[in-house]
Amino acid sequence: MAGLSADRVRANVERVRAEIDAAAARAGRDPAGVELLAAVKYVDVEDVGALLEAGLTVLGENRAQQLEAKHAAHPEARWHFIGQLQSRKVKTIVPLVELIHSVASDSALGQLERHAPPGTEILVEVNVAGEDGKAGIAPEALGDFIARAPVEVVGLMGMPPFAEDPEQSRPHFAALRELAAGHGLRHLSMGTSQDFAVAVEEGATIVRVGSILFE
């Protein structure tokens, strides 16, 4: 992806924000409680500036190496890490981001204990549908995992099984919301380009939107 137009992105952002506002209204929520994160895995470093010019402020990267390059070019953005977290990359990632969404292993907790500064906050990734081979903590193991965390766990992240119909994601989002409430956690990172409106209706505080912002 190259040559993004800030005007084009701005129009897409306005459309997505309008959908977020409408979904929040349907759920009786304040839309200000939902943060739009632009997932920039497929955005070239040279195009990140267009996203910021278009009014996006929170950017999420999936890969540590690309995070380093994009952060170096635009340290003024609020960077989040949203990809599968390899424990050996924790030391690199922590200084660059305000939030890691995808903590899901004891090895990552160990690296956070070694490298995370005071005040570090994380989200725990939960395999809410119990899919084989998918990253994430099992719902029944969440309490023990949070108790072992050396930094503050402020919320959960989840990715339901892919479905053509966004409504099929709803029960998984609802289950994640109930888990977060049961553990007293305030943030829910859930919903992507395909199903973010349903995620907002079910309590998302951060939606991770990519392709529809850049089309």
pLDDT tens-place string over residues 19-53: 999 999 999 999 999 999 999 999 999 999 999 99
Distance, in Å, from the CA atom of 15 to the CA atom of 213, rounded to the nearest integer, reads: 9
- Whether residue 1 is contained in a domain is answered as no
> Is position 161 within any domain?
yes
Average pLDDT over residues 59-82: 98
Average predicted confidence (pLDDT) for the chain: 96
Q: Which of 199, 117, 124 is nearest to 155 (CA)?
A: 124
pLDDT value, residue 1: 55
| Residue ranges in the chain assigned as alpha helix (H) | 6-26, 48-53, 64-73, 90-93, 106-115, 142-148, 170-182, 196-201, 211-214
Q: How many structural domains are present in the chain?
A: 1
Q: Is the pLDDT of residue 2 over 70?
A: no
Q: What sign has the CA pseudo-torsion 18, 23, 24, 28?
A: positive
| Neighbour count for residue 91 (Cβ, 10 Å) | 14
| Residue 18 placed within a domain | yes
* pLDDT tens-digit readout, 99-132: 999 999 999 999 999 999 999 999 999 999 999 8
Residue 98 placed within a domain: yes
Paired tokens of 115: 């490298």
Which CATH number is 45's domain given?
3.20.20.10
How confident is the model over 170-194, as a mean pLDDT?
97
| Domain-embedded: residue 55 | yes
How far is the C-alpha of 58 from the C-alpha of 80, rounded, in Å?
7
State residue 126 phi and psi, 5-degree precision. -115, 130
pTM: 0.96
The SS3 of residue 112 is helix
Given this model, what pLDDT does residue 15 score? 98
Confidence of residue 203 (pLDDT cuts 50, 70, 90): very high
49 is a domain residue: yes
40: Cα within 13 Å, side-chain hemisphere: 36
At 215, is the pLDDT very low, low, confident or very high (cuts 50, 70, 90)? Answer: confident
| Stretch 71-85: mean pLDDT | 97
156 in a structural domain: yes
Burial 121-148 (b: 16+ CB within 10 A, else e): ebbbbbbbbeeeeebbbebeebeebbee
Q: Which domain holds residue 152?
A: 6-214
59 within domain boundaries:
yes
What confidence tier does 3 reach under pLDDT thresholds 50, 70, 90? confident
Question: What would the mean pLDDT of 180-204 be, rounded to a whole number?
Answer: 98
